[in-house]
Amino acid sequence: MQHGQSRVQSLLINPDAHPDLPTAKAAAAAASAANLNIDDIQGDVLIGMKKNKELFYFFSIANARVFKRKLATDILLLITTTTQLLSVSTQPLTAHTIAFSQTGLKTLGVTDDLGDPAYAGGQFADLGNLGDPGSTNWVPEFKGTNIHGVLLFASDTEHNIHAAVAHLDAVLGNCVTKVYTLDGAARPGKEAGHEHFGFLDGISNPAVKGYESPVPGQAVVEPGTLLLGETGDTVKRPAWAKNGSFLVFRQLKQLVPEFNKFLTDNPIVKPGVLTPQQGSDLLGARMMGRWKSGAPVDLAPLFDDPALGADPTRNNNFTFVHPDVALATDQTRCPFSAHIRKTRPRADLGTPEEAVHHIMRAGTPYGPEVSDHEAATHTTSTERGLAFVAYQSNISNGFHFLQKAWADNANFVHAGTGVDPIIGALAGAQRVVSGLDPTDPTKTLTLTTDFIVSRGGEYFFAPSLSAISGTLAV
């Protein structure tokens, strides 16, 4: 326990709509049967979008020799394992995660090829593949490859996080330089678990074999989809990289007042059925593929169903297949362009569902709630958004693929669909999307504003605890 103190409540949130994490006992049994060492895997990799308060601490290494020593004697003792996070009794006051960029590993003298070209080049070199309009909107500190690593601090209070940061600052001294920090937090009250547009987030994370049991409709992936060197990872890796995972970080600014104004100005019209507000809500739900409650439009096509949204045994139990319509042409329930359909096509790519292009999303909202002034003027004046985090064993098959090949591809799944209206980006160009109006699926809507603006990020590798002690710290 951190500083000799113990917990009485979880540092994590647990929205009703999310599948519960496995108990430590159940996870241990499943992991043992699958020969998966969850005591060696950093806890953030498999936890999903359940962080309450979080701080991202990006750093460069000023003195590699001293840092390596501190990594062995101090930092390693603070890193939180998967097992620790699964029980309140073993959770620290503040969970710690550490990950390194390619530049960071090289600074530590580790030159092995981890087998991931996107990671090796860094995100700044990859921005042309991600739909960003150059680096115009990027946080300056993310431009280039000067960030060597990131420390993630997670807890249920800001006080705990600040105490943990202060402790680590004192331990590390001048051997690292703080480059940039970003504070994240679950939104307040009943909005906990929802991103700033208002939609419940993280519902579609996969279940990992050897760690947890799936709920109905949840994608099931081999551990090697997320973890290097495990079953399902087909790339040649150095032995020490086993049980590590590539961490993609993106700071995604959300233009919430502008998004809300767009919905108000473009309601779906069904006279005698929908009020203007209901028409606007329906447009937003069809752009996302889910209502704000988490209920999928495929199962609740006209009105939100909060009970459905809150039920993890039902809110993912659909495939887009319905016996009364043709899968390849029907968009009355869910548009082909909807965010959740673009990023998890389910039966659109056949059954059983493909299990390669999955990631574990573990991000956290950042920034304040929309002010009355912003709401009244329909203009963002204070930055807010999502500190996007995704774990995978292969960035090219994971985040990179989902963004470029699916979300930014106007002809996926079908020609003329348009890009994902939520995260799809065309380097700042306007986006034409079809299928959003269920009364006329051929109707197109032109989006002239990117409601999500990339502020940049970096690609990192979150090593196992044994890799830290046996390779990085020696």
- Mind telling me the catalytic residues? 201
Q: How far apart are CA 363 and CA 185, in angstroms?
A: 10
265 CB neighbour count, 10 Å cutoff: 10
Residue 22, preceding peptide bond in cis (omega within 30° of 0): no
Q: Which residues fall within 8 angstroms of residue 171, CB to CB, at 6 or more apart?
A: 70, 74, 75
- Kind plus residue range of the DSSP H or E element containing 260: helix 256-265
Which of 385, 350, 349 has its CA nearest to residue 370? Answer: 385
291 Cα distance to chain centroid = 19
Q: Which residues pair with 97 in a beta bridge?
A: 152
Dihedral sign (CA 293, 294, 295, 301): positive
Q: Under DSSP, is residue 131 helix (H, G, I), strand (E, B) or coil?
A: coil
Query: 438-457: b or e for each residue (b if 16 or more CB lie within 10 Å)?
Result: beeeeeebebeebbbbbbbb
- Write out the two tokens for 393: 């064993």
Helix (H, G, I), strand (E, B) or coil at 183: strand
Collect all residues with Cβ–Cβ distance below 8 Å to 201 and sequence separation of at least 6.
49, 193, 194, 195, 361, 363, 386
| Residues in Cβ contact with 425 at an 8 Å cutoff, skipping those fewer than 6 apart | 130, 131, 132, 133, 407, 408, 419, 431, 450, 452, 454
